[in-house]
Amino acid sequence: MSLDITQVVTLLREHDLLTAVTTSEHDQKFSHVTYNSKTVQPDTLFFCKGNFKAAYLADAKRAGATAYVSETRYNEGEGMTAILVSDIQKAMSILGAAFYDYPQNDLFVIAFTGTKGKTTSSYFTYGIERQHTHDRVALFSTIDRIVGNAPEDRFKSHLTTPESLDLFHDMRHAVDNGMTHLVMEVSSQAYKKNRVYGLRYNVGIFLNITPDHIGENEHPTFADYLHCKEQLLVNSDKCIINAETDHLADIYYAAKTTTQPENIYLYAREGAKVQLPLDLDVTFKNTNETLHQSDFKVSAQSDKGKALSIDGSYELHIAGDFNESNAVSSIMASAIAGASYEDAKTALIGVHVPGRMEMVTSKNHGTIYIDYAHNYASLKALLTFLEAQTDAGRVIVVVGSTGNKGVSRRAGFGKALSEKANIAILTTDDPAFEDPKKIAQEIDAHIDHDRVQVKFVMDRATAIKTAIEMSTKDDIVVLAGKGEDAYQKINGVDTPYPTDVTIAKQVVEEL
Ligand SMILES: CC(=O)N[C@H]1[C@@H](OP(=O)(O)OP(=O)(O)OC[C@H]2O[C@@H](n3ccc(=O)[nH]c3=O)[C@H](O)[C@@H]2O)O[C@H](CO)[C@@H](O)[C@@H]1O[C@H](C)C(=O)N[C@@H](C)C(=O)N[C@H](CCC(=O)O)C(=O)O
Ligand SMILES: Nc1ncnc2c1ncn2[C@@H]1O[C@H](COP(=O)(O)OP(=O)(O)OP(=O)(O)O)[C@@H](O)[C@H]1O
């Protein structure tokens, strides 16, 4: 992989990003690119972005970087080629794609966005595509990044959608490993920060949108959040939209700005109210539902839907009515990619999504559900489903809310708990630089105390123990928000945490 200065300048000019360049060497060649001074090697093209400090550039120069791309000129870069740009994140994405030689062109890319269901739908699609491509599919999800089939090709993700340089690096790795397809999650932050600038997808799926990720370090307003999410459809050759989503009109028209209606697919649960007078392409209905399994039937409604050849019955071994909707989007996306009905049917039976709807049973205490639900919409959906499925005694929920982001979730949790829970045990969940007790008090301020009994237990493991021990046989215990996260983000450090599932199993063993 390499880039030379002429290519860099030409690409940046083409995208109207170059503001100035100072170089005396016209044949400068770069054999590495990075935005981190700690990973610089000789002949590196270095990117100065984010909360950058000039000292990092001095480090980068010492380590062998010969040029830097930046919105600002630094004295510390004296003697290096300075490539000044109007937007560093866009420049990094454009140059990253070129450096790694446009790996997206060798991949069929299926991309999901939505407030909820991205990870689950990505795992469903990954499962179907494994079946369809005989294991030649990569996955970039919030949980794992999988760029090949060897154990070392699977690693934990730091972000839902990686920085552009990491994204193109991993895509290249996947292509070199023989992968032909990629399933990825695209967060609204990825658009806000131009991590996917210039990237196009073969299929883009819009699952749903509800207020979330609005706050100091994320989106200033809901309109900004919606706008960023819609960019996925604007950049997709074919679009799939959940017609049950809020703001359908906005979302559909965003898709239509770049995609003809014949390449936009709409799906919904049979009988659902759809906000626009649009014809659905695919509908689905539940045929049998338990706490362990969902059976559902898919029916094409339009010629376009029929051409997908996905009509028939399916089985999921992960509970939650919302997961049927997630699965239908995955079936449609995979069919567009060439998967057959049998591929989808067979694969879906075996899909497991880490930390989503995990269940731990106990003999004399309640059934425990561990789920990643961490905002109003997901907690409400989860508790509504559990309520409908059980003759539950009480619903006991262990929950906290993250610090320094998603502040609106606190009120959302209070509301969902007031509507659906009997007992809330408020605890810690990635407090970052905030006091977890204060966060819990903010959730508590939105709880209806006539309906819900509240306890504060700030140590999460103790909170889980308390909930399980107080539960009786008919009760349901929900451990919400962390899924299989094996850390707590505290004061900027990922502090190891055994996971909710491990703690729950331990508590049950010791009962
Ligand atoms: C606000 C934001 O987008 N921050 C991201 C951003 O931070 P940043 O660019 O300011 O980087 P930084 O870590 O402060 O450091 C500044 C620069 O100095 C460099 N540096 C630093 C130290 C050094 O010694 N040498 C050096 O060169 C760093 O490599 C970096 O380029 O770039 C970093 C990676 O380069 C990300 O880790 C970081 O994500 C933060 C931690 C984050 O959690 N973001 C969340 C909000 C996010 O993006 N979430 C979405 C999911 C949301 C959803 O569920 O929908 C996601 O896609 O994950
Ligand atoms: N379609 C859906 N509608 C409402 N809630 C959902 C839906 N799909 C999943 N959920 C709930 O949201 C939780 C998170 O699901 P998932 O991880 O798939 O979403 P995500 O979009 O990747 O979330 P995040 O952006 O927070 O990582 C699940 O554990 C479940 O409780």
pLDDT tens digits, one per residue of 92-134? 999 999 999 999 999 999 999 999 999 999 999 999 999 999 9
What is residue 452's predicted lDDT score, i.e. its pLDDT?
Answer: 96
Closest ligand, as measured to the CA of 325: 2
Closest ligand, as measured to the CA of 480: 2
Q: Is 161 annotated as a binding residue?
A: yes
What residues does CATH 3.40.1190.10 cover in the chain? 103-350
How much distance in Å is there from the Cα of 493 to the middle of ligand 1?
14
Band of pLDDT at residue 156, cut at 50, 70 and 90: confident
List, in order, residues 6 or more apart from 24 with CB less than 8 Å away: none
Using CA atoms, how far apart are residues 361 and 507, in angstroms rounded to an integer?
A: 11
**In whole angstroms, how far apart are CA 390 and each of 291, 322, 471?**
8, 17, 15
Q: Is 237 helix (H, G, I), strand (E, B) or coil?
A: strand
Band of pLDDT at residue 373, cut at 50, 70 and 90: confident
Nearest to 179 by CA among 235, 123, 129, 118: 129
Task: Name the least confident of 166-170, 363-367, 496-500.
Answer: 363-367
> Which CATH superfamily includes the segment(s) 3-99?
MurE/MurF, N-terminal domain (3.40.1390.10)
Rounded to an integer, the average pLDDT of 456-475 is 95
What is residue 24's predicted lDDT score, i.e. its pLDDT?
Answer: 66
Give the H or E element holding residue 396: strand 395-399
- Choosing from 32, 34, 35 the residue with most ligand 1 atoms within 8 A of its CB, the one to mutate for a pocket test is 35
In terms of Cβ atoms closer than 10 Å to its own Cβ (0-12, 13-18, 19+), residue 446 is: middle
pLDDT tens digits, one per residue of 173-217? 999 999 999 999 999 999 999 999 999 999 999 999 987 777 777
Closest ligand, as measured to the CA of 218: 1
Interface predicted TM-score of the whole assembly (ipTM), two decimals: 0.94
What is residue 166's predicted lDDT score, i.e. its pLDDT?
Answer: 97
Q: Quote the tokens at residue 125.
A: 């699609």
Asked if pLDDT for residue 355 goes beyond 90, the answer is: no
Q: Quote the tokens at residue 462.
A: 């103790």
pLDDT tens digits, one per residue of 225-277? 999 999 999 999 999 999 999 999 999 999 999 999 999 999 999 999 888 88
How much distance in Å is there from the Cα of 432 to the middle of ligand 1?
14
Asked if pLDDT for residue 25 goes beyond 90, the answer is: no
| Residue owning tokens 């829970």 | 421
Question: Positive or negative, the Cα torsion across 366, 372, 374, 376?
Answer: negative
Amino acid at 335: A
Rounded to an integer, the average pLDDT of 311-336 is 94
Q: Is 118 annotated as a binding residue?
A: yes
Q: For ligand 1, atom 4, which residue shows the shortest CA distance? A: 50
Q: Is 119 annotated as a binding residue?
A: yes
In terms of Cβ atoms closer than 10 Å to its own Cβ (0-12, 13-18, 19+), residue 392 is: middle
State how beta strands 312-316 and 44-47 pair: unpaired
What is residue 392's predicted lDDT score, i.e. its pLDDT?
Answer: 65
Q: Is 191 helix (H, G, I), strand (E, B) or coil?
A: helix
Q: Which atom of ligand 1 is nearest to the CA of 46?
A: 27
Percentage helix, strand, coil, to 5, in the chain? 40, 25, 40
Using CA atoms, how far apart are residues 410 and 325, in angstroms rounded to an integer?
A: 26
Rounded to an integer, the average pLDDT of 137-163 is 94
Band of pLDDT at residue 150, cut at 50, 70 and 90: very high
Q: For ligand 2, atom 29, which residue shows the shortest CA distance? A: 372
**In whole angstroms, how far apart are CA 510 and each of 477, 494, 503?**
17, 28, 11
What residues does CATH 3.90.190.20 cover in the chain? 358-510
What is residue 185's predicted lDDT score, i.e. its pLDDT?
Answer: 98
Q: Is 300 helix (H, G, I), strand (E, B) or coil?
A: strand
User: For residues 318 and 119, which has the higher predicted lDDT (pLDDT)?
Assistant: 119
Q: For ligand 2, atom 17, which residue shows the shortest CA distance? A: 119
Q: Is 62 annotated as a binding residue?
A: no
Closest ligand, as measured to the CA of 164: 1
Asked if pLDDT for residue 503 goes beyond 80, the answer is: yes
> Which CATH superfamily includes the segment(s) 358-510?
Mur ligase, C-terminal domain (3.90.190.20)
Average model confidence (pLDDT) for the chain? 94
Q: Is 38 annotated as a binding residue?
A: no
What would the CATH number be for the domain defined by 103-350?
Answer: 3.40.1190.10
Q: Is 229 annotated as a binding residue?
A: no
How much distance in Å is there from the Cα of 9 to the middle of ligand 2?
42
Start-to-end CA distance of the chain, whole Å, equals 57
Q: Quote the tokens at residue 181.
A: 């397809």
What residues does CATH 3.40.1390.10 cover in the chain? 3-99
**Which residues lie across from 22 on neighbouring strands?**
82
Phi and psi based region of residue 303 (left: phi greater than 0; alpha: psi -120 to 50; beta: remaining): alpha
pTM value?
0.89
Give the H or E element holding residue 32: strand 32-34
Task: Name the least confident of 276-280, 287-291, 498-502.
Answer: 287-291
Is the CB of 115 inside a 6 Å radius of any atom of ligand 1?
no
- Choosing from 45, 52, 157 the residue with most ligand 1 atoms within 8 A of its CB, the one to mutate for a pocket test is 52
What is residue 217's predicted lDDT score, i.e. its pLDDT?
Answer: 77
Using CA atoms, how far apart are residues 199 and 98, in angstroms rounded to an integer?
A: 12
Q: Is 120 annotated as a binding residue?
A: yes
Could you tell me what percent of the chain has a pLDDT over 90? 82
User: For residues 90 and 288, which has the higher predicted lDDT (pLDDT)?
Assistant: 90
Contact call for residues 143 and 119 (beta carbons, < 8 A):
yes
Give start and end residues of each alpha helix (H) in 293-367: 303-306, 321-336, 341-350
Is the CB of 225 inside a 6 Å radius of any atom of ligand 2?
no
In terms of Cβ atoms closer than 10 Å to its own Cβ (0-12, 13-18, 19+), residue 234 is: middle
